[in-house]
Amino acid sequence: MTTDAKTKQIEQFLTFELANEVYGVEILKVQEIRGWEAVRVIPNAPSFIKGVLNLRGSVIPIVDLRERFSLEQAEYTHKTVVIVLCIKHHRTDTFVMGIVADAVSDVLDIKTGEIKKAPNFGSQLDTRYMRGMHVYKQNMIMLLDVDKLLNPDEVDAMDDTVSSNFDELQ
């Protein structure tokens, strides 16, 4: 693809709020958006895994991005949502999970060439979850690479835990 063609290619991102910042995920990765509801806690899960939900017969893990990104914690409110994502996974090709967000904002059309690379902070700051940055109406939007929100070992561990407890979690 030529540079000119790349700058004209448009991708859509669902934007959402998290700790007074705006984040975005590729709309093609979004399966659905749900209001917050209580989850079933999984014993010995990492703290950023809030639990699991039964989504039409499938048990999906719910990840709190505030905790994953080491942000301040907040109470879940009527505006809190779960964004259900379908991510790539090496063992099963795809893996469905939910992420907790403070609120959903908008769907943006962004030219691929207007996505700035994630800054390199060296080992001081972990930017592996970031695909890049985009400026929209004076706001800096952090575009996430949802396939990297969980490392393969974390996905395998969750997948195994959910699978082994599937009947109990139904």
Structural domain containing residue 71: 3-169
CATH of the domain at 61: 2.40.50.180
The C-alpha R_g of the chain, in whole angstroms, comes to 17
Nearest C-alpha neighbor of 129 from the set 99, 104, 156, 158 = 99
* pLDDT tens per residue, range 10-45: 999 999 999 999 999 999 999 999 999 989 988 888
Backbone φ and ψ of 116, nearest 5°: -85, 145
* pLDDT tens per residue, range 42-66: 888 888 889 899 888 888 899 999 9
- Show the DSSP H helices in the chain as ranges: 3-8, 65-68, 152-164, 166-169
117 Rama class: left (phi>0) / alpha (psi -120 to 50) / beta: beta
User: Both tokens of residue 62?
Assistant: 């719910």
Query: Distances in Å between the alpha carbon of 104 and those of 13, 68, 136?
Result: 11, 18, 16
Predicted pLDDT at 4 = 54
* pLDDT tens per residue, range 118-169: 776 554 455 677 889 998 888 889 999 988 887 656 555 665 555 555 455 4
- Alpha-carbon distance 157 to 44, whole Å? 11
Question: In total, how many domains does the chain have?
Answer: 1
Predicted pLDDT at 137 = 83
